[in-house]
Amino acid sequence: MRQQILGFLATISVVVAVASLLPAMALPYDTACPNCPTSNLYQSDRSDRLADIPLRMWTDKKLYLYGSDIIVEGAVANYKPDIPVTMTIYNPQNNVIGIQQIHVNADNTYKVPIKAAGNLWNKDGFYTIRVQYGPQEIHDREIIEIVGSPGTPVACSANQITVQSSTDLYCVTYQANNVKVQKATVSSESSSINLKIAAQEDSSILLVIPRSILDSQSSSGDNPFVVLADGQPVLDVYEAHSDDSSRTLEISIPDYAGNLEIIGTYAVPEFGAIAAVMLAIAIVSIIAISARTKLAIPKY
């Protein structure tokens, strides 16, 4: 009996000893494995993009409905506090429709929303978003598709003339007396609306010009428009009405004039103006990079 009791106690001691060793032998299942692949595909993709690559950019979707918000975000490899990311947007015709500088955060990331609405987004198709960080060769791009846009209007109402820019059409309300308007264009380069006309004797025209298309202002407020008929100043110009959205001009046209130009200080932006801004940004970027890298120009 005594031997049985001693055998039982020995068995218990072995069990306790083995149990005490188990925690030390257990595998660390609850320890994070930083080198193991994640099952979250979004996090995996984002980690890849945040690797040691000069510049990366992506959007939250590839297909957008007209009027939606497009979320553009990305990261840079070498953070420079004073250098922004320059974003340029191209429409389906490969015309520039927007340029914006984006602040880069201290954690090397950037993010900005874009509203896909307005005259510059009025065509269905594929739009290209390009970003650049410093030198021209450090860039990335995404191609997105816009659907459900209203399209460019093909005609204005009977009491309006169609004013054409290099990228869009606008409607301007008018009344004509003894004059026919054959063509109307607006230019941001000259800040003017140009009318090709066929005037008779005692001709006149009334134009309700939206300020968003053409305006004439100085620091003190509204300035008079300059009106030329066949290149000569027209003195008989009367501003009948003005408000926050438009200005109404009554113009007496010289007999048999063929061209009428209304000149202000601002006209609706078009591709030419944006291209000039883009060139200016490029020049500033080159100067900034040259100063930071102490770029030396060889002397001969």
Residue 110 pLDDT greater than 70, yes or no:
yes
208 and 121 in a single domain? The answer is no
Q: Which of 181, 140, 179, 148 is nearest to 162 (CA)?
A: 181
Mean pLDDT of 11-28: 46
Q: What per-residue confidence (pLDDT) applies to 16?
A: 47
75 and 123 in a single domain? The answer is yes
Nearest-5° Cα angle at 228, 168 to 165? 5
Tell whether 7 is covered by a domain: no
Tell whether 187 is covered by a domain: yes
Choice among 3-17, 56-70, 197-211, 253-267 with the minimum mean pLDDT: 3-17
Q: What per-residue confidence (pLDDT) applies to 7?
A: 58
Q: Look at the chain and report how many structural domains it folds into.
A: 2
Average pLDDT value over all residues in the chain: 80
Mean pLDDT of 213-219: 92
Question: Which residues have CB under 8 Å from 236's CB, separation 6+?
Answer: 251, 252
Residue 224 pLDDT greater than 60, yes or no:
yes
212 and 249 in a single domain? The answer is yes
Tell which of 147, 171, 199 closes a domain. Answer: 147
Rounded CA-CA distance 65/58 in Å is: 18
Choice among 46-50, 138-142, 192-196, 267-271 with the minimum mean pLDDT: 46-50
171 and 264 in a single domain? The answer is yes
Q: Can you give the residue range of the structural domain that contains 125? A: 44-147
164 and 118 in a single domain? The answer is no
3-state class (DSSP) for residue 121: helix
Q: How confident is the model at residue 118 (pLDDT cuts 50, 70, 90)?
A: confident
Mean pLDDT of 289-295: 54
165 and 237 in a single domain? The answer is yes
133 and 172 in a single domain? The answer is no
Tell whether 136 is covered by a domain: yes
CATH number of the domain enclosing 124:
2.60.40.1930
129 and 179 in a single domain? The answer is no
126 and 199 in a single domain? The answer is no
143 and 177 in a single domain? The answer is no
Percent of the chain with pLDDT over 70: 70
Residue 274 pLDDT greater than 50, yes or no:
no
Tell whether 50 is covered by a domain: yes
Tell whether 230 is covered by a domain: yes
Residue 273 pLDDT greater than 60, yes or no:
no
Nearest-5° Cα angle at 267, 264 to 268? 165
Rounded CA-CA distance 300/210 in Å is: 57
Tell whether 11 is covered by a domain: no
- Distance between alpha carbon 101 and the CA centroid of its chain, in Å? 9
Q: How confident is the model at residue 117 (pLDDT cuts 50, 70, 90)?
A: confident
Tell whether 255 is covered by a domain: yes
Residue 235 pLDDT greater than 80, yes or no:
yes
Tell whether 212 is covered by a domain: yes
Q: What per-residue confidence (pLDDT) applies to 37?
A: 52
Per DSSP, helices labelled H in the chain are 2-25, 41-49, 271-293
Residue with the bigger pLDDT between 165 and 191: it is 191
Cβ neighbours, 10 Å, residue 87: 21
